A and B are shown apart, each in its own frame.
Chain A
Amino acid sequence: MEPAIQFDHVSKRFGSFAALDDVSFEVPSGQSIALWGSNGAGKTTLIRCMLGVTAFRGEIAVEGFSSAKHGKDVRVRIGYVPQVMPLFDPPVGEMVDLISRLRGVDSAEGLRLLERFELKQTLNKPVKSLSGGMRQRLALTLALLGNPHILVLDEPTANLDASSQKDLLTLLHQLKDEGRTIVFTSHRWSEVRSLADTVVHLEEGRVKEMGAVSALALQQDLVFIRLVLDESSISPASTALTSAGFQPYSGDGSVHVTVADAHKMDVFGALSAADVRVRNFTLEVEE
């Protein structure tokens, strides 16, 4: 059976920086694949290459279509959910109509999806007035217009509160059960473990390891630490944690890191050594 997506020696450089370096793997149809790695590991760049919105070396085939040569054909076959749904001015109904028309589908399908994701009451509200959780559900609604077999989600829960994260994950499980191929990035190991069949661990643009979640060396007792820092401390904290061998993720005024329970104090040790002041933190055991 032909894989849904095939990455074949994909490389991408920004000047002298190798964002992706000879990445090759396949995504079987109906499987859920997590791209795992720290900031700058190449996850988002790989997604942009797959969507055919940036030039790269090598070959990516999505259901047989080349991302480099037939970007529009590829994007018709992919439903894309960004990390944050942009703050569009128009009302939800207008956005649904716009994306429906661009995807060549009847906007009645959008109304059905809005109902499924409990967003029908937002039809006349501007997209930018919706809560973060609602906006991500809208992004999922728009991604499913035209019923694509492949869903690509870039950190879909990164900016959501715990309740919205849970709701979105439930929806993603439903979509996975419908047999869709899902490619997603996340910095939460609990999400990866819950949703992914396979994990592709990217580091410095290369595939470090790949396999079933249970078989990876990453699999251990993990904790998720959210560090609240001054804005000016975010970059030094990320640098210090990366130098210490952790995989930090920075966003929404904080730095997140998933770490083996036995090494959680090492995070604070690395920050202290770099003179980074932590204003607050939360710690969750990854289940």
Chain B
Amino acid sequence: MSSRSVLTLTQRELLDALRNRWFIVYAAAFLVLCISLAAMIVNSAGYAGISGFGRTAAGLINLVLFLAPLMGLTLGAQSLSAEREQGTLAYLLAQPVSLGEIFLAKFLGLAIAIAGAIAIGFSISSLAIMYWSGGAGVGIFLRLLPLTLLLGWTTLAIGFVISAVSDKTVSALGIGVVAWLLLVLIGDLGLMGASVAVSISPGMLLTLTIVNPLESFRIASILQLRNSIELLGPSGLVANDRFGDLTLWVLVGVMIVWLTGATMLAYVLARRRELQ
């Protein structure tokens, strides 16, 4: 694998991402919502002091949970399918580069673009908080940044799997949005429904919950921000009981397994399809 080719193609992918109107919309929406939240944090601190922290932290986690996966899934879903549909992938493959180099560069380019959008959103919000209130509450953004990046990249990898098997960009985007709904809403509700309908042991329920990378993110974020997940109720206690001090690392591990597994699966599927 040539690092020169990967670097060249990564730069191209970054430039393409900056031209992608979907990316621009997501990045702008993320920034605006982060700043709004920053304003809320400042107001909470003003009126309720530290008691406002829980509300703003929950707001930030929910904001990230909605937007970062939507950005990762839809940008990932468009990545290979759009190139395939436009004929640009076949053209690039006729150049002295390998599919592995193109794939890696596309992933790196989009991962950097997503990281940039998240980092800009968090940084400007932090600066706004520092300007308005002298810094109280900035820590929330800083402590949540690594987990948010991991969530964005994990969902990007899942988006790549969708892209690798889709013929058309429109259908890839559709599947990406359905996957987002499944992970954000339906998976959660379905698990709640299933736990009522079928008797599921707390341990099994915890396992089924954290298999969803978004739920792993949610619990890990709460743990990161509050240093305790007891506010999650019995499931938090079960998690504490099962994993103890390793809970955060188990949750991060689940997300890393998703990230690496989905990326490898996407590459295998893309290779089978493009080079057959």
Contact = CB atoms under 8 A, between A and B. Distances in A.
**Pair from one complex:** yes
Size range of the chain A interface in the assembly: 20 to 34
Contact of B95 (A55, A75, A89, A90): A75
A113 to B, nearest CB: 16
B199 to A, nearest CB: 47
Contact of B4 (A82, A86, A94, A101): A101
A54 interface: yes
A84 interface: yes
A88 B88 contact: yes
Contact of A71 (B8, B86, B91, B98): B98
Interface string B144-171: 0000000000000000000000000000
B276 interface: yes
Contacts of B274: 53
A193 interface: no
A103 B91 contact: no
Interface string B7-34: 0110010011001000000000000000
Contact of A89 (B19, B93, B275): B19
Contact of A102 (B5, B15, B90): B5
A54 B274 CA distance: 8
B96 interface: yes
List of 6 A-B pairs having minimum Cβ-Cβ separation, nearest first: A86-B87, A80-B94, A75-B96, A76-B96, A101-B8, A86-B88
B200 interface: no
Contacts of B96: 72-73, 75-76, 102-104
Contacts, number: 63
B185 interface: no
Interface string A82-112: 1011111110001000110111100000000
A86 B85 CA distance: 10
B97 interface: yes
A72 B97 contact: yes
Residue among A14, A71, A73 having the largest count of chain B Cβ atoms under 10 Å: A71
A51 interface: yes
A125 to B, nearest CB: 15
Interface of A: 14, 51, 53-55, 71-73, 75-76, 80, 82, 84-90, 94, 98-99, 101-104
A15 to B, nearest CB: 10
A108 B73 CA distance: 39
B86 A54 contact: no
A86 B16 contact: no
Nearest to A143: B94
Given A53-B275, A55-B275, A101-B4, A86 B15 contact: no
B63 to A, nearest CB: 30
Given A55-B275, A84-B87, A101-B4, A90 B15 contact: yes
Interface string B46-89: 00000000000000000000000000000000000000001110
B90 A82 contact: yes
30 contacts: A14-B276, A51-B93, A53-B94, A53-B275, A54-B276, A55-B275, A72-B96, A72-B98, A75-B94, A75-B95, A75-B97, A76-B96, A80-B95, A86-B88, A88-B88, A89-B16, A90-B12, A90-B15, A90-B16, A90-B19, A94-B15, A98-B8, A98-B12, A99-B95, A102-B5, A102-B95, A102-B96, A102-B97, A103-B95, A104-B4
Nearest to B93: A53
Given A75-B95, A94-B15, A86 B86 contact: yes
Nearest to A127: B88
Given A55-B276, A94-B15, A82 B94 contact: yes
A99 B96 CA distance: 9
Contact of B94 (A51, A90, A104): A51
A87 B169 CA distance: 15
